[in-house]
Structure 1
């Protein structure tokens, strides 16, 4: 067999083997791999390259070695899912680096971390002062998790006692110029509605690279031609503007009438509408 053909055959065999191993182990990004899994991955990759290039003449021996590594990794992964003790040994534990704004120097030394590396990790999280941190942990993956002190945390709608509607994931209704029926039916919209919305913006469906509908029913478009600018959806701002105009009209009616009963009605409804505007402004503002 020619050398190049042997490399092709070996490559195909090990592609199948590695595919099976990754399916057994499960999906993980590189950043989520533990140090142990990372080393196993490098070892399996190195062994595969050696066997594929023919540096290891016996193909069977290479297959045995890679399968042994793969089965061992899969077995340890299974044990880690079942046992916290095994997981702590295989993947490691999180290490406290900052507690109540105070750096744990002994833990830094234990993890071979310098103060410069810690400060760099904090800056990557947009934190520039150690005293602002309530708690910081070095995860087994090497990432630094940070909890800011309460006074340094950003405001949320809950802090302001604002009740916002539930937001659902946007549905992609056009991809690569092709209309997708399943996402449209998921959100209860029709092809006719989508075509009408495209006509309003003067866009042909074949010119749309990506189109999505959010939980409020607003359509956003991304065209193949990036030089063409599509205006942002205006339904919600227009609704807010209409509500404000109605409230202003009620105030004008109240000032323009001499009928006390009508005046009281206008004032009462103006106040109710203003309350509704105050509640809906965070939702309707773009």
Structure 2
């Protein structure tokens, strides 16, 4: 038993390092921009890697040959699809318009195997709650939805209004689950006294009452307590079941 454990440990370490190297070779597309092909191929590569680490009924060499073959094929197809547009469309598919001028294109929706409630969910994720405001909604090969609102519903930019604005800044978390992040507070050139005064102004005497707090780009403090005191929570469900 001890000997088998050592073998599994060694094979797991080698497999881990192999996958790490192969992942770096394949690039960030494998993680950040998954097409259907990438998704399925990633599952297969992960499955082979897991088997290589723990399956003692066969030699590790067989699994590593299979793993290397899959990675090699993936790298080859990535290169080929960069050079050949036809093969790129065949493997990764192409964008499909599912909403045009506020109208759902049912045949395209059916072709993409997407239900109406899934479409409305994807629209909400793009902050679109009124489908009539949509000029075009495009289903990308990765499964994400790109939305172009109609011109009258697009937000005006400072450039449109010829307004001078301050440089963009990021939000900085300073309290998470009642714990103060001192380093982040210092990065925004604030101290505990400033934070204490800000919390007191919102009726909070102890950081342990705070679930999340962050310094906003405008230097104001956003605070969310564990107890939100919302009178009535919104319910989007249309099914009054047990779940």
1:13 paired with 2:14, answer yes
The answer on 1:46 being equivalent to 2:43 is: no
**Cα shift readout 1:157-202 (whole Å, capped 9, x = no counterpart):** 5599695955532222345634433x44543434543354456656
Residue pair 2:52, 2:63 contacting (<8 A) in 1 also: yes
Change (3 A) 1:195 1:25: farther
Q: Provide the alpha-carbon RMSD of the alignment.
A: 4.2
Q: Distance in 1 between matches of 2:103 and 2:204?
A: 59
Which residue does the alignment assign to 2:238?
none
Describe the SS at the equivalent of 1:215. Answer: coil
Cα distance, 1:103 vs structure 2: 5.8
Once residues 132 and 177 of structure 1 are traced to their aligned partners in structure 2, the CA distance between those partners, rounded to angstroms, is: 42
Residue 73 of structure 2 corresponds to 72
Aligned match of 1:120? 117
* Aligned length in residues: 219
Please state how far the C-alpha of 1:37 moved relative to its aligned partner. Answer: 0.9
Question: Contact conserved, 2:212 with 2:224, CA < 8 A, in 1?
Answer: yes
Aligned 1:126-205 pairs, distance under 5 A? 126=124, 133-150=134-151, 153=153, 156=155, 165-166=165-166, 168-175=169-176, 177-181=179-183, 183-198=184-199, 203-204=205-206
Normalising by the residue count of structure 1, what TM-score does the alignment of the two structures yield?
A: 0.56
Runs (5+) with no aligned partner, structure 2: 230-243
With 35-44 and 24-33 compared, the bigger mean Cα shift is at 24-33
C-alpha displacement of 1:140: 0.4
* Alpha-carbon distance in structure 2 between the residues aligned to 1:228 and 1:96: 40
Q: What are structure 1's unaligned runs of at least 5 residues?
A: 230-286
TM-superposed deviation, 1:58: 1.2
Ranked by relative contact order (alpha carbons within 8 Å, sequence separation 6 or more), the top structure is 2
Max Rg structure: 1
Q: Per-residue displacement from partner, 1:8-57 (whole Å, max 9, x unpaired)? A: 33333322222333343344687841111112112212323433342651
Q: Separation in 1 of the partners of 2:172 and 2:47? A: 42
- Could you say which residue in structure 2 is the equivalent of 1:275? none
Note if contact 1:94-1:140 (Cα within 8 Å) is conserved in structure 2: yes
Report what 1:258 is aligned to.
none
In the superposition, relative to structure 1, how do residues 184 and 96 fare at CA in structure 2: closer, same or farther (>3 Å)? same
1-structure distance, mates of 2:223, 2:102: 45
Q: Is the 8 A contact 1:157 1:163 kept in 2?
A: no
Q: Which protein has the bigger helix share?
A: 1
TM-score (ref. length: structure 2): 0.64
Distance in 2, matches of 1:157 and 1:118, equals 32
2:220 to 201, 218, 221: 218
